[in-house]
Amino acid sequence: MEIIFSIDELESVANQIVAYKPNKVILFHGEMGVGKTTLIKQLCKTLGVNTTTSSPTFSLVNEYEITANQLVYHFDFYRLKTETEALDMGADDYFYSGNWCFIEWAEKIPNLIPDNHSIIHLEQLPDGKRSLQLQ
């Protein structure tokens, strides 16, 4: 799936992603500042998160409740130096929990990513719009 969009179309983009029924573990790739976290915030809202969302840059993972027994985990592994750090914080338990896992900077943990995952590539276009490819 490929979508070209502007920031004011994020709600529609998030709805399209959810309707596409991707794997619950989604890797987000793109340059810093392209809008990965902004898209993840909108996806959380689309999935039913009612609390304020933020980047987990310093905490590594933020947890959001959708329903009593369904969660969204948002990871930002930018600051990791080794995969062992992700293992130490229990990343593999999160990834195989059956809950949504949105992962930024997954290239820092290539050996920990479950086989069943989807990938979103974001790129900023010269006109300021974004190109999204979901695989």
- Extents of the domains making up the chain: 2-134
Q: Where are the beta strands (DSSP E) in the chain?
A: 2-5, 25-29, 61-67, 70-76, 100-104, 118-124, 130-134
Within 13 Å and on the Cβ side, how many CA atoms surround 23?
Answer: 18
Q: Give the three-class secondary structure for 2.
A: strand
Instruction: Say if residue 126's pLDDT is above 90.
Output: yes
- 23-50: average pLDDT: 95
Percent of the residues in the chain that have a pLDDT greater than 90, as a whole number: 89
Partnered with residue 2 across adjacent β-strands are 133
Interval 85-119: pLDDT, tens: 999 999 999 999 999 999 999 999 999 999 999 99
Interval 62-73: pLDDT, tens: 999 997 789 999
Predicted confidence band of residue 44 (pLDDT cuts 50, 70, 90): very high
Q: Which fold has domain 2-134?
A: Rossmann fold (3.40.50)
pLDDT recorded at residue 66: 93
Q: Which residues contact 81 (CB under 8 A, 6 or more apart)?
A: none
